[in-house]
C-alpha cells in the first residue's frame, strides 16, 4: 500500500470509528477524497481494505455504505471477541510481570478519572479502555491473537456500546478492570478468564438493548408502506441498504 493509501486508510478508518458517520450512510469516493485530502486512486485502495474489515460494505449496485449490523451479527462479534479475549486473559495471567500489573493499574486510574469528570469524558474512557485491553494482549505474548482481535476490538460496535453506557455502566467496567488486575496479580488464569467473560457479556447486553430500542423507535416512526424500516440485505456479516 502506498503512503497516500495508508494516509487515506487511517483517516477514513478514524472517521468511521469516531461515530461521525451513521450506520448505512452512503459514501462516495469524492466525499472520501475530500475527507482525506488525497486523490481517488489511493482512496479506492483504502476502501478495499476497509471493506475487508467490514467497516464499509457495497450494495449489489456497487454503491458504498457505512456498515451496520443486525443483533445476530453483533452477538457473533461479541462471542468471537469473548473467545479470543478470554484466552488472552488466561495467557496473560500466566505471564504478566509485576511491572505490567502496575501499568494496568495506572491505565485503569486514567479510565476512572475520565468517569469522574462532571460529564464523563467518553473519548478518554475509550482510549484508556483500549490501552487496558491492549496491555492484556501484549502480556499474552501472542502476535496471532493480537491480529485477530484488532478488528473486533476497534469495530464501531465497541465505540457505540461505550457511548450508550450509563454512569453506573462505566463504573462497572472500571470495577471489572480492578478484578482483572487482581486476577493477574494473583497469577490465576481461571479467575482472569471468568472475569473477562462476564465483562464482555455485560457489554454485549448493554449494546443489544440499545439496538433493540433504536429498532423499535425506527419501526414506530417509519411509514406503513415500508413495513417499518428500509429493506436491508445482509452482506458478509453486515447489513447494507437495498439500493439498486
136 & 61 share domain: no
Q: Is residue 21 part of a domain?
A: yes
Based on the fold, state whether residues 14 and 38 are members of the same structural domain: yes
Output the pLDDT for position 220: 53
Q: Is residue 238 part of a domain?
A: no
Are 143 and 186 members of one domain? yes
pTM: 0.71
Residue 177 lies in a domain: yes
φ and ψ of 97, to 5 deg: -85, 170
Tens-digit pLDDT profile for residues 156-194: 555 565 666 789 989 999 999 999 999 999 999 999 999
Within-domain flag for 33: yes
Domain identity same for 92 and 194: yes
- 123 and 11 inside one domain: no
Q: What is the CATH number of the domain that holds 38?
A: 1.10.10.10
Which residues span the domain enclosing 175? 71-218
Residues 78-119: tens digit of each pLDDT: 889 999 999 999 999 999 999 999 999 999 999 999 999 999
Same domain flag for 114 and 126 = yes
Whether 46 and 79 share a structural domain: no
d(CA 222, CA 41) in angstroms, rounded, equals 38
Same domain, 198 and 87: yes
Tell me the CATH number at 75. 1.20.120.530
For 39-75, how does the pLDDT look when each residue is reduced to its tens digit (9 = 90+)? 999 999 999 989 887 789 999 899 999 987 777 877 8
Say which residues have a Cβ less than 8 Å from residue 100's Cβ, sequence separation at least 6.
Answer: 135, 138, 139, 184
**In whole angstroms, what is the distance from residue 193 CA to residue 92 CA?**
10
Which residues, 6 or more positions from 95, have their beta carbon under 8 angstroms from its beta carbon?
139, 140, 141
Amino acid at each position: 500500500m502506498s503512503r497516500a493509501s495508508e494516509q487515506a486508510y487511517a483517516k477514513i478508518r478514524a472517521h468511521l470509528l469516531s461515530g461521525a458517520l451513521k450506520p448505512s450512510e452512503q459514501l462516495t469516493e469524492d466525499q472520501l477524497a475530500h475527507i482525506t485530502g488525497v486523490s481517488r486512486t489511493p482512496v479506492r485502495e483504502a476502501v478495499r481494505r476497509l471493506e475487508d474489515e467490514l467497516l464499509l460494505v457495497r450494495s449489489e449496485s456497487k454503491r458504498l455504505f457505512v456498515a451496520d449490523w443486525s443483533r445476530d451479527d453483533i452477538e457473533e462479534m461479541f462471542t468471537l471477541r469473548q473467545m479470543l479475549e478470554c484466552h488472552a486473559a488466561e495467557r496473560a495471567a500466566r505471564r504478566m510481570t509485576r511491572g505490567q500489573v502496575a501499568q494496568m493499574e495506572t491505565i485503569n486510574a486514567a479510565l476512572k478519572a475520565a468517569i469522574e469528570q462532571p460529564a464523563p469524558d467518553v473519548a478518554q474512557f475509550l482510549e484508556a479502555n483500549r490501552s487496558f485491553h491492549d496491555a492484556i494482549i501484549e502480556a499474552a505474548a501472542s502476535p496471532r491473537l493480537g491480529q485477530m482481535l484488532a478488528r473486533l476490538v476497534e469495530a464501531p460496535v465497541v465505540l457505540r456500546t461505550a457511548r450508550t453506557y450509563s454512569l453506573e455502566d462505566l463504573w462497572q467496567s472500571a470495577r471489572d478492570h480492578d478484578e482483572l488486575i487482581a486476577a493477574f496479580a494473583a497469577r490465576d488464569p481461571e479467575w482472569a478468564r471468568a472475569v473477562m467473560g462476564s465483562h464482555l457479556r455485560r457489554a454485549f447486553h448493554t449494546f443489544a438493548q440499545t439496538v433493540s430500542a433504536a429498532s423499535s423507535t425506527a419501526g414506530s416512526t417509519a411509514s406503513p408502506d415500508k413495513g417499518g424500516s428500509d429493506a436491508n440485505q445482509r452482506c458478509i456479516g453486515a447489513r447494507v441498504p437495498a439500493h439498486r
